[in-house]
Structure 1
Amino acid sequence: MNPVTDVCWSCMFPLRLGGVQVISGADDVPDKVSSPTCVCGSGGNITFGLTASFWEPARLIETVKTPYCFPALGSGLSNPQPGMGTGAQSTQTTTGATSTFQQAHYYIFPAWSIMGLFADFPCLEQDGFDLAYMTEVDPMWSNDALSFIINPEALLFGNPAAQFACSADSVAAAAGMPLDPLFWCMGSWGSSYPLSGTIAESNPLTANAGLAARMIYKLGRELLLHDPGLNPCGAVPTPIWVKTNYRLQVVRPVRGSNPIPIGRTDFIWGQNKNAPMGAGSNSADNFLWTMNRKKICCVGVSL
């Protein structure tokens, strides 16, 4: 992973300051904070200023067919149980539906901080690169029934009416951004539930994009990921995700140059993005995604 050449730098736009768009960008939605001014307190200091919003490349998500394979690191570990947890496709004998299973890894990746850019800008995360989560050691990721522990409400949406509503989310994501009220939908990528590594999809691009999005929802549900696009004074927990505050960019096996809203059909962005096995140094069906998150912060004077 090369942060200079692999990160989509134009994906940070649009940029707004005080509610006014300074630099335009694609596929944006209005900020979740309407006030152009802000007052925040932290550690005994009070900050008065203007709200600033942009898209921050802050995390990496891998969805891999090979357990313990780390495309971001260009290496891997040996599987302590060879063959266990390997990505696969399966077909139900009764319905004929095909599902895909992949492992996933979640990295802290504040690209600007790693490159030493905008060091004096208070809105940027200053953590270093780190592997924060891997599903090979999470039993809920490989067992749909066990994942029910963290998503019991999935029972409410396992009906034709709820799933039919996802067609509206698919159209909205293709035209612009998905619909936040339909949190159980991921547009053309399928259902948000279960929060596990099995998705009812046979297309590798669609399946892996959906699983990367599920990682965002799953980590938010487990309170391991907070959303910085809802409050200028700090990130807040989101056990129910806000889909429009996240966009993905495919990095491996083939780099994409545009941000992908959650649920957008791969007919728009997926051409030639999954090279055949042996084409280049990255094996097919092992994917790496940059997660761009909407960031709203308070820029001003601290007293």
Structure 2
Amino acid sequence: MMRSLRALLMILGLLAAFALTPQRAEAAGPTCHGKFANPITDVCWSCLFPLSVGGTKIWPGNRPDTGNPASPICACADPLPRIGISVGFWEPARLADVTMKPWCFPNLGGIRVAPGFDIGQGYMTGPSMVGGRSQSTAKWHVHWYVYPLLYWMEVLTDFVCFEQASFDIAYMTEVDPLWQDDALSGLINPEAIVFANPVAQAACAADCIAGTVGVPLDPLFWCAGCQGSMYPMNGNIPSSIGHVQSSRLALSRFAYKMHRQALAWGTMGSKGLCKKYLMPIMRKQQYRFQMVNPIPTVSGRFACSAIGASTFPPDAGRAFPAVGEDMGYLVWRKRNCCVF
């Protein structure tokens, strides 16, 4: 448990550093809400499954799974030729704040800090007038944490398939101009114009159904299922029908953006057995999102839903005014690995 202790001390040190910041943002803006995710009570540990060896599920679970390499025997050539056993499982690898309040960190206990410069500021929620009609819009920010929980807790000692890293805040959208502006985001997703038509968006209905009853449809990469469109890759949600739906769409877009910028890599399928690989077009089937703030979902088939899955009824009532604008999600990632 030494790794867990070191990670906890690092988090507490980060919190103390924020607390000593000369300017606190709470005085100038809305209150940030949140709490630290308890790794025992706030994590849906059944989301680890199904567990497979080759194409056979040895611990099925009650959740849909992606395809696994058919053969239980695998071989890797780097750095030395070796033979092993092909396993597949789901790992809690990342943690994400999704909030409408800039510089608010729900998963760090609900602290909000003043960065000392005017970047990423602005707070918007609720109805706005667009084209003479009342329309609910939202603007979300995302903070992406490196969070290899299985490695910290030493579930399996020296298991090579676990990501071995320490807690870190890897990305904050407040300092990313591409996240703030629809036109600038076109620099990394110029293909968005191809899918900005009713026919392409109508196809997302099939992705909505597939993601809710099973796994999302990776060929429809421009769709985020029931939540909406993956484009543009930013937190500007023009048609928000609820905090859960809207925040999950922002998180889905952010994960896609991370892959497009080569900051997130593929870990599933035969290509992921020996090492991570470049995945510029994110495969939605690689991820599940589990809410940990404000109300953790820790049980049930939809506790860690696929990208694009319906948020009704599993997430109904899990967000409420003010507090519901500060969301936290645990990101589960599918991992296929060759164990030696």
Q: Report if TM-score (shorter chain) is over 0.5.
A: yes
Equivalent residue, structure 1, for 2:165: 127
Matches of 1:91 and 1:28, distance apart in 2: 41
The DSSP-based 3-state class of the residue aligned with 1:105 is strand
The DSSP-based 3-state class of the residue aligned with 2:211 is helix
Q: What is the deviation of 1:36?
A: 2.6
Q: How does 1:151-300 map to 2 (within 5 A)?
A: 151-202=189-240, 203-230=242-269, 231-257=272-298, 258-277=303-322, 283-300=323-340
The DSSP-based 3-state class of the residue aligned with 1:298 is strand
Q: Is the 8 A contact 2:119 2:174 kept in 1?
A: no
Q: What is the deviation of 1:77?
A: 1.3
The DSSP-based 3-state class of the residue aligned with 2:274 is coil
Q: What's the C-alpha RMSD, in Å, of the aligned pairs?
A: 1.7
CA pair 299-148 structure 1, distance change in 2 beyond 3 A: same
Matches of 2:337 and 2:58, distance apart in 1: 15
Q: What is the deviation of 1:178?
A: 1.1
Q: What is the deviation of 1:91?
A: 3.9
The DSSP-based 3-state class of the residue aligned with 1:237 is coil
Structure number with the higher helix fraction is 2
Equivalent residue, structure 2, for 1:280: none
Q: Is the 8 A contact 2:227 2:310 kept in 1?
A: yes
Matches of 1:125 and 1:83, distance apart in 2: 31
Equivalent residue, structure 2, for 1:20: 56
Matches of 1:93 and 1:31, distance apart in 2: 45
- What per-residue deviation string (whole Å, max 9, x for no partner) do you get for residues 75-95 of structure 1? 231154399232434441256
Q: Is the 8 A contact 2:100 2:138 kept in 1?
A: no
Look up the equivalent residue of 2:162 and give its one-letter code. Answer: L
Equivalent residue, structure 1, for 2:183: 145
The DSSP-based 3-state class of the residue aligned with 1:226 is coil
Identity among equivalent positions (%) equals: 39
Q: Is the 8 A contact 2:55 2:68 kept in 1?
A: no
Q: Is the 8 A contact 1:190 1:200 kept in 2?
A: no
Equivalent residue, structure 2, for 1:109: 147
- Segments of 5+ residues of structure 2 without an aligned counterpart are 1-36
Equivalent residue, structure 1, for 2:29: none
Q: Is the 8 A contact 2:54 2:70 kept in 1?
A: no
- What per-residue deviation string (whole Å, max 9, x for no partner) do you get for residues 48-92 of structure 1? 012100010000111111111111111231154399232434441
Q: Is the 8 A contact 2:120 2:174 kept in 1?
A: no
Q: What is the deviation of 1:255?
A: 0.5
Matched residue pairs, number?
294
Matches of 1:27 and 1:200, distance apart in 2: 31
Q: Is the 8 A contact 1:106 1:134 kept in 2?
A: yes
Q: Using the TM superposition, name which of 25-34 and 210-219 deviates more.
A: 25-34
Q: Is the 8 A contact 2:294 2:328 kept in 1?
A: yes
Is residue 2:112 matched to residue 1:76? yes
Matches of 1:10 and 1:267, distance apart in 2: 21
